Structure 1
Amino acid sequence: MNLPSFLWLWKIAAWSMGLSLFAYFLLGISGGWMFYQRNTQASPPLWLRPVHYIIGAILVMLVLLLLVIGLVGTLGHYGSLGHSYHLIAGLVTVILVLISATAATQISPERPRMRMLHIGTNIILFISFALVSLSGWSVVQKYLP
């Protein structure tokens, strides 16, 4: 296939992954702050929860953007999918982010298990982000000239 270079696409993916990891870090800090405030019977600042939701929504959008870039770029470059375990690691990461986001919207005093699901999913997401980052690095090496 005589296709144009996909280097611009990988640059967008690199920035998106970096911003995703930064958003995950900020969510960990803000979520930890809310968790601490909740367990010490103190009230978190009124702005904290909306900021946590906004950063979470940004993370969801970035991860979905990464999914699209990965699929389009791989199909455009190779013509098919499944050339490394990066696809599986990426899909697992997307699913975990979506589970976490869905659970976050369901957290309430009537549904205490949703908070546990949200926190547990985010702990597993740490491992998933590590795996997708490591496998992504090896994938990027294939595309660099």
Structure 2
Amino acid sequence: MHLPSFLWLWKIAAWSMGLSLLAYIMLAVTGIMMWQARNSQSMPSFPGFPASRGGVRSLHYTMGISMVSLVLLLLAIGIIGTLGHFGSLGHSSHLIAGLIVVFLVLISAVSATQINPSRPWVRTLHITVNIILCAAFAWVSWTGWTVVQKYLP
């Protein structure tokens, strides 16, 4: 099988991880803004988006879709790169950390689509999963750095 250069895959993964973390931070900021809007009469604005709950919500959803896409791209790169380089999976705790991040991101995304005033527990689930996701991102970043050290000469 003809695979791309592993260094090229590492570069794509590094950019994807950086952009995933940026999306996570933007999701936290816009999530806090929506929480503030729910608990007050004024809506904070975000540059380039209308000062309405719908504008911030739109940005929040856009960043969420972006983060899900980037995390799934990272999963694919990790599987392809590891299988291509080692011939099998499970050489470090990075696989477990990555799968946990993917799982948490997907739970967060699904729960986001289910938030409804009649189901307030879903919002609590969404927020709790995203707080846990912060620790999982830190773990996968640390284990990823150790994996990258194997690829570098």
Q: TM-score, structure 2 length as denominator?
A: 0.90
Partner deviation per Cα, 1:40-62 (whole Å, 9 max, x = no partner):
24456231101100110000000
Count how many residue pairs are aligned between Structure 1 and Structure 2: 144
Moved over 6 A (4+): none
Q: What is the aligned partner in structure 1 of residue 93 from structure 2?
A: 85
- CA distance in structure 2 between the aligned counterparts of 1:33 and 1:14, rounded to whole angstroms: 29
Q: What is the aligned partner in structure 1 of residue 63 from structure 2?
A: 55
Where 2:149 maps in the other structure, the secondary structure is: helix
Where 1:83 maps in the other structure, the secondary structure is: coil
- CA distance in structure 1 between the aligned counterparts of 2:25 and 2:102, rounded to whole angstroms: 17
Partner deviation per Cα, 1:78-119 (whole Å, 9 max, x = no partner):
000000000000000000000000000000111111100100
Alignment partner of 1:111 is 2:115: no
- CA distance in structure 2 between the aligned counterparts of 1:110 and 1:42, rounded to whole angstroms: 24
5+ residue gaps, structure 1: none
Q: What is the aligned partner in structure 1 of residue 34 from structure 2?
A: 34
Where 1:7 maps in the other structure, the secondary structure is: helix
Counterpart residue type for residue 15 of structure 1: W
User: Aligned Cα RMSD in Å?
Assistant: 1.5
Q: What is the aligned partner in structure 1 of residue 48 from structure 2?
A: none
Q: What is the aligned partner in structure 2 of residue 76 from structure 1?
A: 84
- CA distance in structure 1 between the aligned counterparts of 2:55 and 2:74, rounded to whole angstroms: 29
- CA distance in structure 2 between the aligned counterparts of 1:131 and 1:12, rounded to whole angstroms: 19
Percent of residue pairs identical? 65
Q: What is the aligned partner in structure 2 of residue 126 from structure 1?
A: 134
Q: TM-score, structure 1 length as denominator?
A: 0.95
- CA distance in structure 1 between the aligned counterparts of 2:39 and 2:80, rounded to whole angstroms: 45
- CA distance in structure 2 between the aligned counterparts of 1:112 and 1:4, rounded to whole angstroms: 46
5+ residue gaps, structure 2: 45-51
Alignment partner of 1:99 is 2:107: yes
- CA distance in structure 2 between the aligned counterparts of 1:5 and 1:34, rounded to whole angstroms: 43
